[in-house]
Amino acid sequence: MARQKGIIKLKGTIGDITFYKSKDGYIAREKGGIDANRIATDPAFQRTRENGSEFGRAGKAGKILRMALRAVLLHSADSRMVSRLTQQMLKVIRADATSVRGLRNVIDGEAELLAGFEFNINGKLGTSLFIPYVGTIDRVSGTISVAIDPFVPMHMIAAPSGSTHFKIISAGTEIDFETGTFAETHTETNILPWDATETLAILLENEVPPNSTKPLFLALGVEYYQEVNGEMYPLKNGAFNPLALVKVDGGV
C-alpha cells in the first residue's frame, strides 16, 4: 500500500493498481490476493478461517453493544470507534479459555476487558471528568447506577473551549450476545452551568431485568453545550463529548 502524491488524485483501477481515497488519504495498492474458495476449503488456511470467524463474531458483538447504547452514543463517538470496539471485542473473545479456537465467544470470554473503553478519542472521559464517582451494578435488583458527590464544575470538568453548560449522562444495559437482544435504560442530569457554583449530589439509576445472568454494562459520559441568546446548542455537534464504559459485569 502506498500514498498518492501530487496535484492529481486518482480513483479507480489502472492495470493491476487500484487507487482510492481512505481516511488516511489517497492510497494506491496492487490488485491481487488468494482465491476465496481456496481460503474457504484448503486445510492450509484453517487458522485463517478460525481467525475470520472470531473477527466476525467480534464485529457482531460490537454492533449489538453499540445498538444497546445508541441513545447515549449519538453525540459521543469518534469516526473510528467501530473498528476500535471490534478490536477490543476480539480481545474479549480470545480470552475465552473454554471454547476451541474459531468458536471462542464473548459469553465465555472476559467481557470485563471492555471496562474503561472510550467511545470518543477526541474527548476522553478519563481526561475530562475528574469527579470521584461510584458506579454500581446490582445484579439482583437490576439497578445499574452512578453516584456523584457535590462538585464545582469549573474545577472538576475539563470542558472544551466555548462550553457554557453541561450535563452528565449514564446508561445501563443487559446484553444477550447469543440472541442479539438487550435491555437498556438511560438517565441524565438537567443541563447545568459550567461555573464555580457547587452542584447538588447526583444519582443516576438505570433499571434492567433483575436477577439477570447476562453481561451488564454501565456507561458514563458528559455532553457540552453553549448558550446563545437563551438557547442551548450542543457544542460543536458533540465532537468532544466523552463517553466510556466505567463498569462491566460479565455475567454468571
Predicted local confidence at residue 237, as pLDDT? 83
Whether pTM > 0.95 for this model: the answer is: no
> In this structure, what DSSP letter does residue 215 have?
-
The stretch 137-162 carries a mean pLDDT of 97
Mean pLDDT, the chain, integer: 86
- The packing angle between helices 81-94 and 46-68, to 10°, is 120
Predicted local confidence at residue 96, as pLDDT? 84
d(CA 3, CA 27) in angstroms, rounded, equals: 5
Predicted local confidence at residue 52, as pLDDT? 65
d(CA 203, CA 187) in angstroms, rounded, equals: 9
Confidence of residue 39 (pLDDT cuts 50, 70, 90): very low
**Helix ranges restricted to H, the chain:** 36-41, 46-68, 70-73, 81-94, 153-156
pLDDT at residue 5 is higher than 70 = no
In order of 1, 29, 238, the CA distances from 34 in angstroms are 17, 15, 43
* 78, 80, 82, 87: CA torsion to nearest 10: -130
